[in-house]
Amino acid sequence: MWRFGPLVLPGAVDAAVTWPEGNTPLIARRRIAEWAGVPALQLKHEGMNPTGSFKDRGMTVGVTQAVRVGATAVACASTGNTGASLAAYAALAGIPALVLVPVGKVALGKLTQSLAYGARTLLVRGDFDDCLRLVREASEELGVYLLNSVNPFRIEGQKTIVLEMLDQLQWDVPDWIALPAGNLGNTAAFGKALREACSLGLITKMPRLLAVQSDGAAPFAMSYRENFRVRHRVRANTIATAINIGAPASYQRAVQAIRETNGVVTSVSDGNIMEAKAIIDAAGVGCEPASAASVAGVRQMVLAGIIAPDARVVCVLTGHVLKDPESLDRYHRGTEPPPAHANRPIEIDATVRAVADVMRTLRT
């Protein structure tokens, strides 16, 4: 992604703390498009970044900047992915990292990444919103360099999701770009990227943004329905732990992004998120629960008549399927009642006959 360096952090390319990241695939899968109700659906898979989420694009820039300003330690609050990414990039740069996560509410893959990469990982008795408040106070009082998306350098990096996608589309702008929305850093970054692409003349029309939350954590969707007259805060509760956020920090910049793109904000049920995820997973693509909200949101908007079935739509899949193994296990082994697309493991005796019995039930 550092090929966009001049638009991201001018003059820093040679000193970048980078894996590298970006250059993620833009793919089409017929079964997913059919389920969503939009034949021309494409998926930009940000789970294919080094630590398995789009956060790496912001973190390479944020940690590069931390080194430039001589930071002695870096910190973030996280629902998991930001922490995993910070832990990795801090290790690459040789700077100690502090990661604050809500105890019991972080997917296993993410928590273990943070530990593996060597970040001091604090399990805070509270939710993500408590973690963010705490880390902001701590960074001010203790002089730790804050790397949440309230840090503008993070946003600069995340702009490249959109720039790279447009490049892959030969700058032929899609009608809609759909993304899951939690703390709203990414929504803000998408808006900024599109605004800059427009003013540079790289594109001549704006795609519409569709920001998708879970019904259980939908303060931004609530505000959108009231034309952003009120900034809502909620106590968040969704299976999609990545976006389990009740008081999004980048609210104001995200409002601007939605307004400037004639965008839409909606929310979908956890059931719909898990169904979308099962379709995406079974197509061989795979993503974590929060990521599937983008596709579930598109389906909802098509059914509501807001997205036309012949629209060109890009959904951003924000995180890798292996981030959240517990939710996969719960879904596929679930019994009461078994979820619609559950693929239960089958225990057998070690005989060819037992294998043959199973083979008779296979579908193509």
Q: Which is nearer to ligand F0G, 131 or 301 (CB)?
A: 131
| Distances 59 to 88, 133, 239, 318 between C-alpha atoms, Å | 9, 20, 25, 14
Among 18, 42, 114, 183, binds ligand F0G (CB under 6 A): 183
Region from 18-26, 60-68, 162-170, 185-193 binding ligand F0G, contact rule CB under 6 A: 185-193
Nearest-angstrom CA–CA distance, 315 and 161:
11
294: contact with ligand F0G by CB under 6 A: no
Identify whether the C-beta of residue 11 lies closer than 8 Å to the C-beta of residue 253.
Answer: no
- Measured in whole angstroms, the distance separating CA 254 from the mean position of its chain's CA atoms is 15
Is residue 286 near ligand F0G by the rule CB under 6 A?
Answer: no
Q: Using the rule CB under 6 A, is 74 a contact of ligand F0G?
A: no
Beta bridge partners of 114: none
CA 112-116-117 angle, 5° bins: 120
What gap in Å lies between CA 268 and CA 271, rounded to an integer? 8
CB of 185 to ligand F0G, least distance (A): 3
- At 120, list the tokens: 């001091």
Q: Which residue has the tokens 């998306």?
A: 149
Residues linked to residue 316 through DSSP beta bridges, in sequence order: 44
Closest CB 191 distance from ligand F0G, rounded Å: 12
Nearer to ligand F0G, 18 or 187 (CB): 187
Which member of 146, 184, 218, 268 binds ligand F0G (CB under 6 A)?
A: 184
Of 290, 296, 307, 314, the one binding ligand F0G (CB under 6 A) is 290
- The single residue among 98, 150, 155, 181 that binds ligand F0G, judged by CB under 6 A, is 181
Contact string 226-255 vs ligand F0G (x = CB under 6 A): ----------------xx------------
Question: What separation in angstroms does the CA of 261 have from each of 208, 229, 303?
Answer: 5, 18, 21
* Chain residues in the site for ligand F0G (CB under 6 A): 53, 55, 78-82, 149, 180-187, 242-243, 288, 290-291, 318-319
